Structure 1
Amino acid sequence: MTDLAALADLIRSDTETRGRAISRLGYFCAPFQPPEGPFSDKVIKVYRGAAKPAELTRLAEAHDDYVRVLTECGVTLPETEFHLVDLGGSTRTPVIVQEALPLSSLMRPRMREDSKEETLAMMQAAGEVIASFWTEAQRVKTRVGFHPSIRNFAIRDGRAVFFDTFPPLIHYSREEMGKLLLQFSEKRMMRLVGPMMQKRVTGIQDEWYSPPETLVGLVGSACRLRPEFAEDYLEWGRLFARSHMPRWAEPAIEGLDGPPQLPGYWTGFRKLLGLQGEPNV
């Protein structure tokens, strides 16, 4: 059982004690892995945002449900715990404690460095997780989504391991999720400016709830990382859609008639916030 008092002390400690951030993704938080101590084999993710006690309770329940549903739908996860931790403020703070994965296993850096054949094998592994999730999720009796981007996968023994469980894409309506995206953004600017662009912020999530768009998004990321292999990735995506996701093949193939691009408003947000798209470890 996790020692929440020790976890709180670790989070409040200085950078040298708790360890430097191991990702600069930065939209929701900067995960860190302690260099020593009882949490040295864990990645700690702290989500600071103004939320009422009832909202936090709902968030914790949704996260537990989401981890369960992901697992039931064939998604391999590292050991993942969600806690509401007392850090001395007026409300508790959501914290995820997750089994640390070797940095050498993260898919995004490997996609940038490995051979064409190796990158295609990794895409196949990630694609099989996407297909399994959406096939099984059709039986889930609530709104549920999935964000299987390249930066949210690791590859271990040829299998894709997914490690991004926040926000929990289950139970929340589209409008509620849009507000959640602002509520827990690490960037104060996003929390201040975002409400004036709530409609656009809300739209960020739409790909995560669309089976064909999650596949298109995976291929689009690969094309941007390795443009020299774009035609190979597009052909892989079209063949995969037909063989593994026939129910959604037509719209997926339509989205793969050329290298998919990120929506302009999202690239604008990323530049504004200084986000680099690094692995969300």
Structure 2
Amino acid sequence: MSDLTSMIRAALAAGGTASTERRHFGAPMRPTSGPLANHDLTVYRGGRDPEVQELLARRHDAYVDCLRLAGIRVPETHLRLIDEAGSLRPVIAQKAVAPDMMLVPLVRKAGTKAAIGLLDRVATDVAEFWRRVAQRPERIGFHAQIERFAMDEKGPLFLDTFPPLISYSRDEMGHLIQRFADNGLVRGLGKVLPGRLREMQDRWYTPAGSVQTLIDGALRLRPDDTEEILEWADGFATTRLEGPWRNAVQAQLARHARSAKVSANRWRTVAGRDRPHA
């Protein structure tokens, strides 16, 4: 894509359709005309810290390469630093995915068996990613949030490349979260309790954390299918995950199962009280 930076500048100046999706980082918009009309542009917090942002740009390229080498399909995605009178602003241009291809509406609309089939395909890619990066020397993560996946005829697509979870230490990533978070509360928390921002990322950097993040998202989307999702997840962990990963996921699944049982018992108790002839 020739002179992408100029295209991004022109698209931002012309404006477009802003997304209502809430994110920790960045404000997405889609140009309505021009060469980037079939792309989503996500604009991140700018600042006068070129050393931070230039490193960010290099590591973003490295992370996209890492994802693809590890079998994760990512749409055409590029990060550019836009100079605004000496202040740099990161902008990601990513080839747009049709709304009806996003995993969330697909999982919501599908029957139980089909929804679990979709989850299984994504979870398989997530687990395979961790196997392929296991021998790499860098600190690498994968934030497998269900909202950031799509599905086409070839299989899952992953859309979330920011922040780039490669080569940053735990402390460095904590600073990066604080630097680029759009939520002022998150930035304030980082100043008062920086340890909380370090903890926030821990799930991103373990195989079990990535798989569990996906499972948690599915449980939020389909609470009526909790039992079926937990049964699938336990089977997936048993047959498709290695020992330490399997144990960590199954421990979390057991907590989910206990919570679901307590909620069901509480509802039966309340319902019984409300029945006049119980």
TM bin, normalised by shorter chain, reads 0.7 to 0.9
The equivalent of 1:44 in structure 2 is 41
1:42–1:163 distance in 2 versus 1, CA, 3 Å: same
Check if 1:82 corresponds to 2:79.
yes
CA contact (8 A) 1:49 1:185 kept: no
Return the alpha-carbon distance in structure 1 between the equivalents of residues 20 and 104 of structure 2: 12
Match of 1:91 among 87, 90, 101: 87
The equivalent of 1:255 in structure 2 is 252
Query: Any idea what SS the aligned residue of 2:136 has?
Result: coil
How far 1:18 sits from its partner (Å)? 2.2
Return the alpha-carbon distance in structure 1 between the equivalents of residues 237 and 209 of structure 2: 11
Check if 1:20 corresponds to 2:17.
yes
1:34 maps to amino acid: P
How far 1:96 sits from its partner (Å)? 0.8
Q: TM-score by structure 1 length?
A: 0.86
CA contact (8 A) 1:215 1:237 kept: no
Return the alpha-carbon distance in structure 1 between the equivalents of residues 188 and 255 of structure 2: 36
Check if 1:105 corresponds to 2:105.
no
Return the alpha-carbon distance in structure 2 between the equivalents of residues 57 and 252 of structure 1: 37
Return the alpha-carbon distance in structure 1 between the equivalents of residues 211 and 186 of structure 2: 28
Higher helix share: 2
Match of 1:31 among 22, 28, 32: 28
Runs of 4+ in 1 over 3 A off after TM superposition: none
Q: Deviations over 1:254-281 (max 9, x none)?
A: 11114389xxxxxxxxxxxxxxxxxxxx
State the structure with more CA Rg: 2
The equivalent of 2:269 in structure 1 is none
CA contact (8 A) 1:154 1:160 kept: yes
Return the alpha-carbon distance in structure 2 between the equivalents of residues 171 and 221 of structure 1: 27
Check if 1:237 corresponds to 2:217.
no
Return the alpha-carbon distance in structure 2 between the equivalents of residues 102 and 54 of structure 1: 35
- Structure 1 stretch displaced more, 223-232 or 165-174: 223-232
Check if 1:212 corresponds to 2:208.
yes
Bigger relative CO (Cα 8 Å, ≥ 6 apart): 1
Q: Deviations over 1:237-258 (max 9, x none)?
A: 1111122212421111111114
CA contact (8 A) 1:28 1:184 kept: yes
CA contact (8 A) 2:47 2:88 kept: no
Match of 1:53 among 44, 50, 55: 50
Q: Which runs of 5+ in 1 are unaligned?
A: 262-281
CA RMSD of aligned residues (A): 1.8
